[in-house]
């Protein structure tokens, strides 16, 4: 018995990398799968239907438990057709995992409107498209369902990726909105910040060149079977898709190698309250005095994976053989010192 027996899942971007690993694991756990992938290049150009077809055939050569779909997630009607295909082939839809993505990196002062729009259309609009069509069907089915969206630590300020960062930050907001709106229908929505060596990592010139110079292989090739293997991300997705995670809703999880992290949501850490409308002069005086330390310490940092890997060994608690735990508590109110 698998944890997802009887479930039906759509996985976008499932032809390669993280999405492929997710589709394959959900299938092993018992779910029927719609494997979606446009089969485009990393910048979103071109299309190759064989990319999705190959993964579907790997999962089930007969086509009885896995079918492929090559619509673009950026196409609103195409996203509806994905959900419709799941229903036509398997009778229902229970799980939607949004992994599809492209890159068109450039510094903000060099980025064209077309480069901005292409990335936002695939990541943010694409995630909206599938979530919207799935939400309608979840309600028609009488409730229940899982939305699992892929965001990124790049949302916290990655330089050279203003389009990608904005889209991934938007996915966080969209996911939390879905979690609030659909909870009454038994639907959960959560987001994943992944870390793995995929073709996106292969596209980073310095990283690619270093790997090729050392081994003659791309980073994604070197990652197979290691902590950087994209397949490592799939387990948290399968958990969130299962009945065991029915009470987990509106959260952000980081999946880096063999680390699974719960990411904090914004909290107020200090507040100034006046008995009148603030003047600019007052703020020039009191903001540095009240917030200086926090403004210096709490900088946006997209390097979540590196921080997780950098936690000193002595700070971990041995929960059981092969499992360690580390945690911190973010208090809503700090030390009352002026």
The secondary structure of residue 61, as a DSSP letter, is: T
The mean per-residue pLDDT over the stretch 125-133 comes to 98
Is the residue at 304 inside a domain?
no
pLDDT score at 333: 55
Is the residue at 218 inside a domain?
no
Per-residue pLDDT at 336 exceeds 80: no
Per-residue pLDDT at 310 exceeds 90: no
The reported pTM is 0.92
* Pairing state between β 66-69 and 323-325: unpaired
pLDDT score at 297: 82
| Percent of the chain whose predicted confidence (pLDDT) is above 90 | 76
Per-residue pLDDT at 116 exceeds 70: yes
- Write the CB contacts of 333 (distance below 8 Å, at least 6 apart in sequence): none
Residue 145: left (phi > 0), alpha (psi -120 to 50), or beta? left
Reference 308, options 320, 331, 324; nearest CA is 324
Could you list the residue range(s) of the whole structural domain that residue 15 is in? 8-195+229-263
Is the residue at 305 inside a domain?
no
Is the residue at 17 inside a domain?
yes
205-218 pLDDT, tens digit each? 888 788 888 888 88
Domains held by the chain: number: 1
Structure tokens at 247: 């009470």
Is the residue at 188 inside a domain?
yes
Is the residue at 269 inside a domain?
no
pLDDT score at 200: 80
Is the residue at 41 inside a domain?
yes
The residues carrying an active-site annotation are 152, 164, 168
9-32 pLDDT, tens digit each? 999 999 999 999 999 999 999 999
Per-residue pLDDT at 120 exceeds 70: yes
Reference 248, options 237, 258, 260, 240; nearest CA is 240
Distances (CA, A) of 287 to 250, 267, 270, 271: 32, 18, 11, 10
Distances (CA, A) of 143 to 22, 100, 184, 186, 188: 24, 26, 8, 5, 10
Q: At 93, which CATH number?
A: 3.40.50.720
Is the residue at 140 inside a domain?
yes
């Amino acid at each position: 018995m698998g944890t997802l027996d009887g479930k039906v899942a759509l996985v976008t971007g499932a032809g390669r990398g993280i999405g492929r690993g997710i589709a394959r694991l959900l299938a092993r756990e018992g779910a029927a799968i719609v494997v979606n992938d446009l089969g485009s290049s990393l910048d979103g150009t071109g299309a190759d239907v064989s990319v999705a077809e190959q993964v579907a055939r790997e999962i089930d050569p007969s086509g009885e438990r896995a079918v492929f779909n090559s619509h673009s997630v950026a196409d609103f009607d195409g996203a509806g057709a994905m959900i419709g295909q799941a229903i036509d082939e398997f009778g229902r839809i229970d799980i939607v995992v949004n992994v599809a993505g492209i890159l068109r990196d450039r510094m903000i002062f060099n980025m064209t409107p077309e480069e901005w729009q292409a990335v936002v259309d695939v990541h943010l609009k694409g995630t909206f498209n599938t979530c919207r069509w799935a939400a309608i069907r979840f309600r028609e089915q009488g409730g229940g369902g899982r939305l699992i969206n892929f965001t990124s630590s790049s949302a916290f300020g990655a330089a050279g990726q203003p389009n990608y960062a904005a889209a991934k930050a938007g996915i966080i907001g969209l996911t939390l909105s879905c979690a609030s709106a659909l909870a009454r229908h038994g639907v959960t929505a959560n987001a994943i910040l992944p870390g793995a060596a995929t073709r996106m990592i292969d596209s980073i010139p310095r990283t690619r060149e270093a790997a090729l110079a050392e081994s003659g292989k791309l980073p994604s090739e070197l990652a197979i079977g290691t902590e950087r293997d994209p397949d490592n991300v799939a387990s948290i997705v399968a958990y969130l898709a299962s009945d065991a995670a029915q009470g987990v809703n509106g959260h952000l999880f980081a999946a880096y190698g063999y680390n699974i992290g719960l990411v904090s949501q914004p909290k107020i850490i200090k507040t100034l309250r006046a008995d009148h409308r603030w003047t600019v002069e007052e703020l020039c005086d009191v903001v540095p005095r009240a917030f200086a330390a926090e403004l210096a310490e709490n900088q946006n940092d997209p390097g979540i994976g590196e921080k997780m890997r950098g936690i000193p060994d002595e700070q971990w608690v041995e929960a059981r053989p092969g499992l360690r735990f580390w945690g911190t508590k973010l208090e809503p109110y700090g030390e009352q010192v002026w």
